[in-house]
Structure 1
Amino acid sequence: MTTPAIVASKAHPGRTDAIADSRTSAPPKSTLRTYFAMLAHVSRWHLVGVVAVAVLFSLTEGVGIALLLPTLQVAGFNMAGQGEAGRYAAMLSNAFVAMGVRPSLIILLAVFVTLVGARTVLGQIQSVGMYAVQQEVEHHMRRRLYHAIADANWLFVCRSRASDFTHALTHEIYRIGSGTNLALVFTGEIVLLVLYMTIAFALSAGMTGLVLVSGALLTFVFRGRTHAIQEQGEEVSSTNKSLYSATIEHLQSLKAAKTYGAEERNFSIYSNLSADVVRANVDGARQQAIAATWFELGSVVILAVVLYVSIKVLAVSPAAILILLLLFARVMPRIMTGQQHYRAFVNSLPSFKNLLNIEARCAAAAEPAAHPHDRMSLTRELAADHISFTYSEGRVAAVRDLSLVIPAGKVVALVGPSGAGKSTIADILMGLVQPDSGTFRLDGRPLGPEGVRGWRDQIGYVAPDTFLFHDTIRANLKWARPEASEDEMLAALRQASVFDFVAGLKDGLDTVVGDRGMMLSQGERQRLALARAFLRRPSMLILDEATNSLDSENEGRVLDAIESRRGELTVVLIAHRLSTIRWADLIYVVEGGQVVESGDWSSLSAIRDGRFRALWEAQSLTI
C-alpha cells in the first residue's frame, strides 16, 4: 500500500507530503510565460531555425495556392471581370513576364511540382528540428530538476517520497517534451494560417474579415472548455504520479507481499490506482473530443453564414469564391487541428507547473554551495555540544541535549538499542542534518550549513543496507573516487577482505553486480561498500552496522585493517553487536537520543548496574 512519508512544515504542520500536489499549490504568476521563457532560453538559435523553416514551409504551400489563379487563366478560364481575383491573376502573370518568363501551363505546373518537392524537404527538416528542440527541453528540465534535488538538504529528501521525484524526472518531463512538440506544430500552423489569411484578404477583405471575427467569437465561446481541459490535465498528472509511486513501492515489497500472502491485496490496490489513471485519461480524451466536435460544427455554421453573406451581400466574384473556398477548405481543418494541438499543449502544462513546484521546494531547501578553498580536515576533535534534533514538529526528539567528543585518530563506538538515535547522530556528524539547537564543532570551529559539503569530502560511510549500482565492480569503486588507479582499487579490496572473492570472479573487476548488487550476497555487497569507503581515503570512517553481515573471520579481517590505520584514521563504529567494538578507544552508550554512559570497554563493563553492562550480559559476553 502506498503510504506517504510523514512530513510537517512550519507553514503546514499537518502536511504529509513535502512535494505538494500541483492542484493544491499556488501556481506561478504565469506558467505559460515561464514556459516560453524557458523554451527561448534553452533552444534559442535552434528554435529560431525551426520557426524559419516553418515560415518557408508555409510559404511554399501559400505560393502553390497563389499559383492557382494564373494557372486557371492560362488553362483558358476567363479571369476578366472577376474583380480582385482577376487583378490578382494579372499581377502574378506580369511578375513572371518581368522575370523574363512567359507563363504557360507547363511552366506553372513545373513551378508547382518544384514547390511541392521543396515543401517535402522542408517538412522533413522541420520535423527533425522540432524533435531536437523537444529533446533539448527534456534534457534541460531533467538536468535542472535533478540538480535541484541533489542540492537539497538531506532532511528535505527524507521527508519527501522518492517516487515523486522519479515520476517528475521521467513521466512529467516526457509530457513537457510532448507539449513542446505540440507547441511548435501549433506555431507552424499559425504561420500558415497568417499566410492564408493574407492571400484571402487580397481576394476579399470583407469575406475574410467575417471569417476572422467569427473565428475569434468561436474561440471566446470555447475558452471555458479549454480551462476544463487544463484541469483534466492536472488530474492526469496526479493519478499518474500515484500509480508510479505504487508501482515502485509494490515491486520493492514483492518479497514481503509473497511472504505475507498479500499478493491479492496488493493487486486490488494497484488495480484501483490503474483504473483511476484510465478514467482520468479517458475523461481527458472525451473532453478533447467534445471540444473538437463542437468546434467543427461551429466552423461549418460560420462558413455557411460567411458564404451566404459574401454572395448575397458582398457580391464576391465566382472566381474569388472558388479560390476562397479552396483556401478555407484547407484552413478550417488546420484551425481544428491547431485547436487540438493547443488543447493538448494546455493539457501538458500542469506537468511543467508540477516541476516548477518541486524545483522551487528543492531550491528553498538547498544546502549552501561549498567554498572551493574551504577544505576541512580533522586534526584534533569533532565535538557535539548540547545538540538536539527533531525530524518534524509534533514528533519526539530523535536527539536530545547530546554532548560527545570524537578525538582524531581514535576508534569511537556508538552502541544502544534500536531507535536510540545512533544513526541520527551519525547523520549529524556527517552534516547531513543540522541540529535544531546546540553547537557542532570541528577542531573547535563551529561547523554550520556553509561548511558541511567540505567536511563530507573527508568522510567515508558504509550504511547497513548497502547500495551498489547496476554496473561493474570497477565502476562502483570509481564512483567513490574517479581518479583511483588499479593498484589503489586492489589495495582497497584487500583492506575490506574482498580481494580473494573479486579475484576469483571470471571477469574480476569488470563483473557486473546486478540491480542494487543483487547478484552478490549481502556480505559481499557490504565488503565492496567497505572497499569503496577505504578507496575514498577519508579522514573519518563511519561504519553504520557495516559488519553485521560478515562472518567472524571476515569481520576480524576488516577490523584488523581498521586497526592497522589506528592513529591516522578516525573511526566511528555504530553497532548492536558489542563484540565488534571491544577494541574501541571510546564507547558511547546512547538511549533516547542521549549519551547515558561513556568510557572504554573495561570501565563500562565494570559498572554493575550500568546500561552497557545490561547490553553486555544480554549478549552473553565475557570480560
Structure 2
Amino acid sequence: MADSPANPPKKGTLAAYLTMLVRVSRWHLISVLVVMVLFSLTEGVGFALLLPTLQVAGFNLAGQGEAGRYAAMVSKAFVAVGLHPSLILLLGVFVLLVGARTVLGQMQGVWTYAVQQEVEDHLRRRLYHAIADANWLFVCRSRTSDFTHALTAEVSRIGYATNLALVFIGEVAIGMLYMAIAFALSAGMTALVLISGAFLAFAFRGRTRAIERQGEEISASSKSLYAATIEHLQSLKAAKTYGAEARNFSIFSELSADVARANVDGTRQQAIAATWFELGTVVILAMVVFASLQILAVPPASILLLLLLFMRVMPRIMSGQYHYRAFVNALPSFANLLDIEARCAAAAEPTVHPHDRHSLTRELAAEGVSFTYSEGRAPAVSDLSLVIPAGKIVALVGPSGAGKSTIADILMGLVAPDSGTLRLDGRPLGPEGMRGWRDQIGFVAPDTFLFHDTIRANLKWARPDASEEEMLAALRQASAFDFVAGLSSGLDTIVGDRGMMLSQGERQRLALARAFLRRPSMLILDEATNSLDSENEGRVLDAIESRRGELTVVLIAHRLSTIRYADLIYVVEGGKVVESGNWSSLSALRDGRFRALWEAQSLTI
C-alpha cells in the first residue's frame, strides 16, 4: 500500500514544522532549493539531449510522431544560438552536464545537512530556554528524563526528518521535470500514468496514518527507555548495595526490547507500503502501455523513450515515497517537542527587568503563607508567619518533613505561595520580582551538585567574572582552601561526574565557597554542614560569624549544635512556626518543642 502527500500527517503539526523550517533556515533553504532545481535541470537536459544525439548518430526519427518533432525542436534550438548539433558537441555538452551535476550534488548534500543542523540547534536552544524559564514547581512535577530525551533523541529525530523532507522535495522536483518531458513526448500516455498513480495513492492513503502511529509508538517507547537508563545509572550504587542488579537488568531489557520491537514494526510498515506501491505502479504502467499502443496509437519510438523515461523516474518516485513515509514516522517527535515547550511556556516565570534587583536591607517577612505541592496532599506550609531581619543569623529547626526546605524555597522565590504574602523591606514580593530577588541569594543544598569540570569552572559558574584571588578567598571562607591547594592541579583539578572524585565533605565545602563567591545579600544553608567534621564545621560557622551584620544567613539544621549562635531560631512543625526565640530563651522552656529536640541530642546549655 502507498501513502501520498495528499493525505498528510496532522496538519497543525506539519504546518508548525514547515513554519519553523522556513523561519530558522530561510537562506540555506533557498540555497538548497535553487541547487535542487539546477541539479534537476542538469539531469533533465542530459536526458533531453538523448533524442537529438540519436538523430545525429544516424537514427531516423522521421515519422515517429512527437519524438521526431521533439528532436527537431532541440536541434533548431542549438542552431538558433549559432551551434551546429554535431555528435562531438552533444557528447561534450553531456559531459559538462554530468560534471556540473556532480558538483551540484555535493553542494546539495552539504547544504541539506547544514539546514538539518540549524534546525536541531534552534530546537535544542528553544526548548532548553523554555525549560529554564519554567517555574520551579512545574519542573519538580515533571520528569527530568522527559526533558533530556526531548533535548537529545527527539531533536535528532526531527533533524533526520528535516533531511528526509529536503531529499523528498528534490525527488519531487526531478520527478516533475521528467513528467514535463514525458508530456512533451505523449501528453495522453503521461496523463494516464498520473491519473492512475493518484488513484493508487488515494486508495492506500490509510497507510500514512498507520506509519505515523508507529512513529508515535517509537517516540513513546524510546522516552521510557531513556528515563529508565538515567534512573538506573543514577541508582547503580544503591542497586549494587541491595543486590538488585538482576531486577534492574530485567526492567531495562524489557524496555529495550519494546524499543527494538517498535522500530522493527516501523520498518515493516515501511516495507509493506513500498511493496504495494511498487506492485501497483508496475501494474499501472503495463496497463498504460497497453492503452497507449491499442487506443492512443502512440508511435513505438515514443513508447520506448517514455518507457526509458519512466524507468528512470520510477525509482525516484519509490524513493520519494520512502522518504515521505520516513518523514511522517519521525514527525511525532516534533509534536512531542511542541507539547513540552507549550507546557513549559504556560508555566514560565515573568521576565525580569535587567535593573530590577532586590537587595535585602531591612527584613524579609512571610505573612500567613500557605503552600501545597499538589491537590490531594496536605499543605507543606500552612499559615506561616516569620521575619528574617537583615544582617542576622536565623535558624530553622524541626524534625524531618516539618517543611523547612519548602520554607527556604518560598523565601528564595523558587515557589510562589498559594496564599499569604512575602514582603521584602515592606514591599510585596510577587512573581514578577522573584528572579531579581534570587540574583541576591546564595544557596547550598544538602545534596551538592558539581559539574564534571574543574574546580575553577565550578566556582566561576556562580560568578563568571570572579578573579582567582576572589576564588581563593571564598575557598578559605568555606574551609576548602587547604584540600584544594593539596591537589596536584589545584583549581584546575577535574572533580568528576557530579563531583564523585571528591568526598561528600569536600563537595559540600566547594558548594559553600561557590555561594560565598556570589557575594549574596542572603545566604541559605540547607543542612549544608552535615557532611563536615566538627573541626571544618567550626571553621565554616566561624566564617559565617565573621560576616555577622553584613550578610543575612538562614541556617536549616537538624543538628542543633550548628545554630547555637543564631540570633533568631524558628522551630517548625507541620509547616508552621511553633516556637521562636534565641538559644537561651528556647532552651529555658521546660515543656517547649525546642527543649525536647535539645534534650534528644544530649546538648547542654
The 1-side partners of 2:556 and 2:501 are apart by 27
Q: Give runs of aligned pairs for residues 28-427 of structure 1, distance below 5 A.
A: 30-427=12-409
Any idea what the Cα deviations from partners look like across 1:376-410, whole Å, max 9, x if unmatched? 01011000001100000000100011000000000
The 2-side partners of 1:436 and 1:291 are apart by 54
The 2-side partners of 1:222 and 1:524 are apart by 65
Q: What is the letter of the counterpart of residue 302 of structure 1? A: I
Q: What is the letter of the counterpart of residue 48 of structure 2? A: A
The alpha-carbon deviation at position 99 of structure 1 amounts to 2.1
The alpha-carbon deviation at position 505 of structure 1 amounts to 1.3
Any idea what the Cα deviations from partners look like across 1:455-485, whole Å, max 9, x if unmatched? 0000000000000001111111111011111
Q: Is the 8 A contact 1:28 1:353 kept in 2?
A: no
The 2-side partners of 1:535 and 1:322 are apart by 81
Q: Is the 8 A contact 1:234 1:347 kept in 2?
A: yes
Q: Give runs of aligned pairs for residues 571-590 of structure 1, distance below 5 A.
A: 571-590=553-572
Does residue 1:472 correspond to 2:432, yes or no? no
The 2-side partners of 1:261 and 1:130 are apart by 50
* Paired position in structure 2 for 1:548: 530
Q: Is the 8 A contact 1:164 1:241 kept in 2?
A: yes
Q: What is the letter of the counterpart of residue 412 of structure 1? A: V
SS in 2 for 1:587: strand
User: Which residue of 415, 419, 429 maps to 1:437?
Assistant: 419
Go from structure 1 to structure 2 and tell me whether the alpha carbon gap of 1:29 and 1:296 turns closer, same or farther (over 3 Å shift). closer
Q: What is the letter of the counterpart of residue 431 of structure 1? A: G
The 2-side partners of 1:545 and 1:222 are apart by 64
The alpha-carbon deviation at position 29 of structure 1 amounts to 6.1
* Paired position in structure 2 for 1:498: 480
SS in 1 for 2:353: coil
Any idea what the Cα deviations from partners look like across 1:108-153, whole Å, max 9, x if unmatched? 1111111111111100000000000000000000000000000000
Gaps in structure 1 of 5+ consecutive residues: 1-26
Q: What is the letter of the counterpart of residue 303 of structure 2? A: I
Of 179-188 and 100-109, deviating more is: 100-109
Go from structure 1 to structure 2 and tell me whether the alpha carbon gap of 1:158 and 1:287 turns closer, same or farther (over 3 Å shift). same
Q: Give runs of aligned pairs for residues 542-621 of structure 1, distance below 5 A.
A: 542-621=524-603
SS in 2 for 1:155: helix
The 2-side partners of 1:531 and 1:372 are apart by 26
The 1-side partners of 2:209 and 2:221 are apart by 19
User: Which residue of 498, 510, 524 maps to 1:528?
Assistant: 510
The alpha-carbon deviation at position 28 of structure 1 amounts to 7.9
Any idea what the Cα deviations from partners look like across 1:214-259, whole Å, max 9, x if unmatched? 1111111121001100011000000000000000001111111111
Q: What is the letter of the counterpart of residue 485 of structure 1? A: S
Does residue 1:457 correspond to 2:439, yes or no? yes
The alpha-carbon deviation at position 373 of structure 1 amounts to 2.2
Q: What is the letter of the counterpart of residue 594 of structure 1? A: K
SS in 1 for 2:580: strand
The 1-side partners of 2:463 and 2:594 are apart by 38
The 2-side partners of 1:524 and 1:319 are apart by 86
The alpha-carbon deviation at position 292 of structure 1 amounts to 0.4
Q: What is the letter of the counterpart of residue 351 of structure 1? A: S
The alpha-carbon deviation at position 177 of structure 1 amounts to 0.2
The 1-side partners of 2:11 and 2:60 are apart by 58
SS in 2 for 1:480: coil
Any idea what the Cα deviations from partners look like across 1:138-190, whole Å, max 9, x if unmatched? 00000000000000000000000000000000000000000000000000001
SS in 2 for 1:392: coil
Go from structure 1 to structure 2 and tell me whether the alpha carbon gap of 1:28 and 1:366 turns closer, same or farther (over 3 Å shift). farther
Does residue 1:483 correspond to 2:491, yes or no? no
* Paired position in structure 1 for 2:4: none
SS in 2 for 1:609: coil
The 1-side partners of 2:317 and 2:561 are apart by 77
SS in 1 for 2:402: coil
Q: What is the letter of the counterpart of residue 457 of structure 1? A: D
The 1-side partners of 2:591 and 2:233 are apart by 47
The 1-side partners of 2:106 and 2:12 are apart by 33
The alpha-carbon deviation at position 100 of structure 1 amounts to 2.0
Any idea what the Cα deviations from partners look like across 1:20-63, whole Å, max 9, x if unmatched? xxxxxxx9861101100000000001100000000000101000
Go from structure 1 to structure 2 and tell me whether the alpha carbon gap of 1:497 and 1:28 turns closer, same or farther (over 3 Å shift). farther
The 1-side partners of 2:348 and 2:410 are apart by 17
Go from structure 1 to structure 2 and tell me whether the alpha carbon gap of 1:95 and 1:180 turns closer, same or farther (over 3 Å shift). same
CA RMSD, Structure 1 to Structure 2 (Å): 0.9
**Paired residues, what number?**
597
Q: Is the 8 A contact 1:440 1:447 kept in 2?
A: yes
The alpha-carbon deviation at position 268 of structure 1 amounts to 1.0
Q: What is the letter of the counterpart of residue 209 of structure 1? A: A
* Paired position in structure 1 for 2:5: none
Q: What is the letter of the counterpart of residue 390 of structure 2? A: A
Of 203-212 and 499-508, deviating more is: 499-508
* Paired position in structure 2 for 1:10: none
The 1-side partners of 2:435 and 2:11 are apart by 34
SS in 2 for 1:30: helix
The 2-side partners of 1:330 and 1:391 are apart by 64
The 1-side partners of 2:302 and 2:282 are apart by 19
The alpha-carbon deviation at position 319 of structure 1 amounts to 1.8
The 2-side partners of 1:291 and 1:621 are apart by 77
TM-score by length of 2: 0.98
The alpha-carbon deviation at position 371 of structure 1 amounts to 1.5
Go from structure 1 to structure 2 and tell me whether the alpha carbon gap of 1:61 and 1:479 turns closer, same or farther (over 3 Å shift). same
The alpha-carbon deviation at position 293 of structure 1 amounts to 0.2
Any idea what the Cα deviations from partners look like across 1:519-560, whole Å, max 9, x if unmatched? 111111110010000000001000000011111111111111
